Homo-oligomer: A and B are copies of this chain.
Amino acid sequence: MSFQNPVFIPGPTNMPEAVRQACYMPTIDHRSPTFGKILHPCLDGVRKVLKSDSAHIFIFPSTGTGGWETALTNTLSKGDKVLAARNGMFSHRWIDMCQRHGLDMQIVESPWGNGLPADHYEEILRADTGHKIKVVLATHNETATGVKSDIAAVRRALDAAGHPAMLFVDGVSSIASMDFRFDEWGVDVAVTGSQKGFMLPAGLAIVGFSDRAVAASKTAELPRTFFDIKDMQNGYNASAFPYTPPVGLMNGLKLSLDMLLSEGLENVFARHHRIAEGVRAAVRAWGLELCATSPDVYSDTVSAIRTPEGFNATDIVTHAADTFGVAFGVGLGEVAGRVFRIGHLGSLTDVMTLSGLGAAEMCMADLGLNIPLGSGVAAAQEYYRSHPSAALKSAA
């Protein structure tokens, strides 16, 4: 039998059927005008999702990791100084990439489960009177810990310090699911991928550059070709790519953007918040705690749930896959074995979420945790009942 359970990983997400079909188009000539009719709406739509009027949007056949590399190689030179906090696996990896590219890292170690330490950033930036720091990295949503950080606060730190460093934001697991304000927050590079809020298969790195970031590319000396934004921009100017574009995925992105924008971004964010609140109600009912240390950093796209001391959280994930055919996320890095993760972004309903919570309960009970069956489901049901979905109404 082929089973059809939804996935509860923090991306790739469950895909809407229509988006999947749009990706699955027959071959067209990517040098024909037809491609331009896919490309330009993608660029315009992504810009809207970023809440930007002027960001330069670049789409690469790659992933979020490629998006990070695009950000760094187009703006920096070997030895340039970069400020970053490490509060989870993805901020860690981005720091690692910087180091491999010969950048001079100033790293703020921050507890996994906390948000970015904007105050500490401000201190460091004030101290950098020579403005050696060229770029501040900020991970908007730490997929590993389910922690959302306050990017506006990082911007305020920069401004308060009067520091000209550029602000690069990893929005891989936030953009298109949670509020993101490129212009208002003064973001210089925003990075995301196709397989999260855009509800597509993996395969696209999607990045936005400010004018300043584009200007920095004129002097940046890190070597690059595949991820070069100038080649890409020249391509776009001719409705083309500098190499063969991923036409089907972009056709899917075009439709996904249409869906998100016609639903309305605020509605999309509210929908994710509602689903997430149900999951958090379940976690409380289970008597467990989130990795995220306070409500202001709770992520609306993924919850990392701490299991009791001495219990291997990864067993839940393995048992769910083996016994119930359900996919949850394991803990990564510092929190490996100590959390399991429920992804609740993309094309997911309250009702589908109940099946994930129900599966988690069966697994925890099977593995000896003292979780009454149905307890988390009931808490989520109560939340969903008392907070009816606006989305369904508007779809009717």
Contacts and interface: CB of A to CB of B under 8 A. Distances in A.
A66 B244 CA distance: 11
Contact of A325 (B222, B226, B349, B358): B349
Given A14-B26, A32-B321, 19 more contacts: A1-B347, A2-B18, A3-B349, A12-B27, A12-B247, A17-B25, A29-B327, A30-B202, A63-B243, A65-B225, A97-B225, A201-B246, A201-B248, A223-B223, A323-B389, A354-B354, A354-B359, A354-B377, A373-B378
Please state the number of chain copies in the assembly: 4
Contact of A247 (B202, B378, B389): B202
Interface stretch (A38-46, A291-299, A379-387): A379-387
Contacts of A193: 244
A8 to B, nearest CB: 9
Contacts of A355: 351-352, 354-355, 358
B15 A1 contact: no
A366 interface: yes
A101 B385 CA distance: 50
A350 interface: yes
A106 interface: no
A306 interface: no
A351 B325 contact: yes
B395 A1 contact: yes
B249 A203 contact: yes
A65 to B, nearest CB: 4
Contact of A5 (B2, B351, B396): B351
7 contacts: A2-B17, A7-B27, A12-B27, A62-B62, A355-B355, A362-B381, A365-B385
A195 B358 contact: no
A39 to B, nearest CB: 14
B24 A12 contact: no
Contacts of A24: 20-21, 23-24
